[in-house]
Structure 1
């Protein structure tokens, strides 16, 4: 329910200092809102969003197949990432560079649509088709030859997106947090003081704020829930709109001063995706090594769930992390098998380097679009969620659209992110809310035996 217009001095509370929460806070402050409070249970001002405490590098891409609107949004976001990098280089701020240098390469049939749509907007030369000699020659002259067919595949089809690459997720969030603070956002991070306890007001009709675990009440004319994988549980109205899901990640630790160190260096190896829409056997992505020698390969071909029955009797998927309960570092055998087979076929030199695994949690909407809207029937409550595995790249810009929603401004993209429901006859992009009997439920998955791929490595 859209609220009455709020003044620039009205209290606004955002729960969640991840991508959607940070971006919203920044753009509210830039539009002149002077009473914005950002809460999070994590002490990000101390942890710096580090990988060991949960954050990992993220893919940046402008290639979106037939989804022209997201292509436009991504191109705009990339320009903002570059602007952030330039601001950092100027010495005005302290965090190191955010946007990594490797381009992104894609092995997927959707790339044909990308080529067509990039051509329409005059960006054809940013796309390099691997089996097009003119494209490959151009890429080589531009210094991108290493990113053309990096797996030495016999069926040499793929596309290199020279606009894409990766972003250092921890540095990006640190810089965004720095911006929010500099713009006057009130940050309350870590411990009981930053942990959501319950809403104030009438849960089903009018929210007037939030109480944190330390017992403090934070009154708000507008509450914005941007809690990542916890949002669907805290806002049950999202049932059948969004669900929390997990992908598998394996880390390969390279020995220093080795040929592998150079082989997988960012200047020698691209960010990549592989068969992202090929169901259980595809959905792979990966990165060059980081500064510590870690090579990350992820799997999203199966979107695993962790349904837990809530107080109202509904089973909702919630993240399993070290901050909520005993976490698991084991992988579902499906994820481990697909990663293992891919590495065995295309990057066998990494096999001895497999060291640890983890689950990476997302919030998927049924149609893979974000949900940036007011909760129907509830005054004073809004959600910014449903990143669906592709939201991070919009960190610098997404908040501007959220503020447009708050202000009721005309915006050509907002209709994609309306509150909505799955209509009869509509085929969902993501099947969600399948419950404890789902084949994707972690309850029904065999898991690797160790906090690594050791047993898989020994079988190769």
Structure 2
């Protein structure tokens, strides 16, 4: 099967030929010893090996997009034995954070965008992803693929654009969109997106506001998108095992006397043999695979949820006809790094904060400290097994301060309506030192793939990133995602494993309840990286 068709960005400058657009080599490794990228780049799709594997095991923990997408695309490419595991009952929780799902992908909504500046490999990946997202909407509306509990009126993406805004007076010329310019205002009005260049209406209050409007992007409805991807994968033959016993990863299993991974053992004691195992466990991956030390680390962003009343005019004001997904003052340290979304069908308005990304250092059995996720629904687990500490139901004081300050300045109508923070969330991602994904085989270990390092910007690729995992490691994007170490003398984008003695730790003095009352001193913190 050839790659998904790559479509050009609308209203974008001419781009060089897409290096992602040649068809993949269809690989069916017989054994764990066989390297996945043994084929030369073909001029057309070929089968490099004659038979599919006895079993291709994809390990899913915590409802992550990497495993959902990998399972879907393995099944599409003809693999007939793909099994996905998750310790949570995703089939019952329906990937809903409010109902108890833990992973970052289990969410209300995520930003979809193409604008990546000089990171052309991600822009081109978005070119491929966005048409596929839209085709998923069409599959639902036409009845071709409708997951249980959804109907033809549901959508998995709202493609009404996304915008990145700043308080500064100007941006670099190549990314300038000055909302005070009559020409830009007229152009946006003629396109029917006049609301998009000023979602917070700052100019009416005499405030600076410049930014970049990405008319190709929008907002994914995350929980429904995950349900759709799972259902589509199941229709193609992939299997899903959920629950604290049958779906819970216990350990890797190895061939006798070797470092070749031969599958996994689950919490119920069962052995699941596999020709290839993929670890894609979100923020929990570095704890389960300590060899990721120095390459990846779990970091927490912060989310505040506001429930708007049914009769509130804010549901229309912040809905898809009058607003869009936005990012605010990224790359501006502790006072910036905010992002927000449309009000969803249930009246929830969500704002996220990653101006400071927090860690939870915990000493593990090997004596090393690793950031270990703890959430509203589950305590942190040492070595991925033993629960430690309490569940985490509050969020950092600085996050509360940044969000409330933003609302007072940019969306005063929220507070004016008497709407406060209803619920908060600590949302765990896996950061890499270079802010790139990590999609590669484990070095010196046959039979094991790792797909992680989403760094807070991977969800938009749910529709297509699985088409790349392990197919052809020579491709440009795959080269960026290779397993690597920080070169000597080079500064990382993200400083990892600083522990509780991090110089940035004082920035995390205190966690708060939804009213901003400081409760106790919390964890550690790190400065915001350069956002991709």
Please indicate, yes or no, whether the TM-score normalized by the shorter chain is above 0.5: yes
Q: Report the Cα offset of residue 294 of structure 1.
A: 1.1
Q: Secondary structure at the match of 1:372?
A: strand
Q: Secondary structure at the match of 1:193?
A: coil
Aligned to 1:82, which of 134, 138, 141?
134
Q: Find the counterpart in structure 2 of residue 175 from structure 1.
A: 228
Are 1:98 and 2:156 counterparts? yes
Rounded Cα–Cα distance in structure 2 between residues aligned with 1:289 and 1:368: 29
- Which of 172-181 and 78-87 deviates more? 78-87
1:453 aligns with 2:515: yes
Shift of 1:245: 0.4
What count of residue pairs does the alignment treat as equivalent?
439
Report what 2:339 is aligned to: 285
Q: Report the secondary structure of 2:125's partner residue.
A: helix
Match of 2:460 in 1: 393
For residue 9 of structure 1, what is the aligned residue in structure 2?
53
- The answer to whether residue 414 in structure 2 is matched with residue 350 in structure 1 is yes
Deviation at 1:98, TM superposition (A): 0.5
Alignment partner of 1:302 out of 335, 352, 356: 356
Q: Is 1:32 aligned to 2:78, yes or no?
A: yes
- Runs (5+) with no aligned partner, structure 1: 117-126
Question: Are 2:404 and 1:340 aligned?
Answer: yes
Residue of structure 2 aligned with 1:379, choices 438, 443, 446: 446
Please say if residues 397 and 516 of structure 2, whose CA atoms lie closer than 8 Å, have aligned partners that are also in contact. no
Highest RCO, 1 vs 2 (Cα 8 Å, sep ≥ 6): 1
TM-score (norm. length: structure 1):
0.90
Q: Could you report, residue by residue, the CA deviation over 1:161-194 in whole angstroms, capped at 9, with x for unpaired residues?
A: 1111110000000000001101111211122100
1:135-176 superposed Cα distances (whole Å, 9 cap, x missing partner): 321211221111222223321311221111110000000000
Q: CA deviation at 1:372?
A: 0.3
Cα separation, 1, equivalents of 2:174 and 2:129: 19
User: What is residue 124 of structure 1 aligned with on the other side?
Assistant: none
SS at match of 2:476: coil
Distance (Å, rounded) in 1 between the aligned partners of 2:289 and 2:504: 23
- SS of residue matched to 1:102: coil
Q: What is the TM-score with the length of structure 2 in the denominator?
A: 0.78
Contact kept, 8 Å, 1:306 with 1:443, in 2: the verdict is no
Q: Return the alpha-carbon distance in structure 2 between the equivalents of residues 361 and 380 of structure 1.
A: 27
Tell me which residue corresponds to 1:218: 272
Say if 1:22 and 1:237 are closer, same or farther in 2 by CA, change over 3 A.
Answer: same
Cα separation, partners in 2 of 1:103 and 1:443, compared to 1, 3 Å: closer
Q: Residue 59 of structure 1: CA displacement?
A: 0.4
Bigger CA drift: 137-146 or 230-239?
Answer: 137-146
Q: Counterpart of 2:485 in 1: which secondary structure?
A: coil
Structure number with higher helix proportion = 1
CA contact 1:308–1:316 (8 Å) conserved in 2: yes
CA contact (8 A) 1:307 1:317 kept: yes
The answer for the alignment partner of 2:217 in structure 1 is 164
Confirm or deny: 8 A CA contact 1:304 1:440 kept in the other structure.
no
Q: Which residue of structure 1 lines up, in the alignment, with residue 370 of structure 2?
A: 316
